[in-house]
Amino acid sequence: MSRPVGIRVAVASLCLLLVTACASAAEGGRPAASPSVSLWNPSAGRSPVARDEPFDVDRAMLRVKRLGFTADTEPATLKNLRGPLRAIHGHCTNSADGTCVSVFFFVGNEYVGYDAAGIAQSTIESQDGTTVTLVYPVYTPTDPQCCASGGKRTYRARWEGGKVTFTPPLPENPNRPGT
């Protein structure tokens, strides 16, 4: 027995509405290129107070996942990070070659922003609860994805004045030469 056309149209419209709403919400939360040298994500909420508290790794991993990324560090390792400033390195979920990465910053248990959206490569060299040291390989225009030949750049991220600041100032794409 077939259902009346009106019910099928209503169900199809509802499904389309839900898919559109979910896609819009996912894209609105995704990191976009950050031209600023310091960042704070106002959509993450009010500026958190920098306190060292137990890290809610499950909540942080869920936030990274909702931004379209997969954390590169095991939860057990993340649980042992000292705070209040913590960073999680992640790659774009479903990335075929792994050259789409970002570093996500948390103060206490609050997400406060990211370094640069979907750049080719980066590494968290160290973090001690107040400073996160990031290293970016520099790709020249003729470099293949595997092999950066332009050296490396090191940046230090700290929570200062209610935002993450970088020293030296972080360019929009730290993997590019001359930026």
Q: Where are the domains of the chain?
A: 1-30, 33-167
Which residues on neighbouring strands pair with residue 152, listed in sequence order?
Answer: 137
Q: What percent of the chain has pLDDT over 70?
A: 70
Cβ count near 135 (within 10 Å): 15
Q: What are the DSSP E strand ranges found in the chain?
A: 38-39, 69-71, 85-92, 101-107, 110-114, 123-127, 131-137, 152-160, 163-167
pTM of the model: 0.73
pLDDT per position as a tens digit, 17-35: 333 333 333 333 444 433 3
Residue 45 confidence (pLDDT) above 60? no
Residue 2 confidence (pLDDT) above 70? no
Residue scoring higher pLDDT (37 or 45): 45
**pLDDT (average), residues 79-92:** 93
Confidence of residue 6 (pLDDT cuts 50, 70, 90): low
CA distance 156 to 19: 40
3-state secondary structure of 126: strand
CA distance 80 to 98: 25
Residue 16 confidence (pLDDT) above 60? no
Confidence of residue 97 (pLDDT cuts 50, 70, 90): confident
pLDDT per position as a tens digit, 125-167: 999 999 999 999 999 999 998 899 999 999 999 999 899 999 9
Residue with tokens 């306190």: 51
- Quick one: pLDDT at residue 38? 39
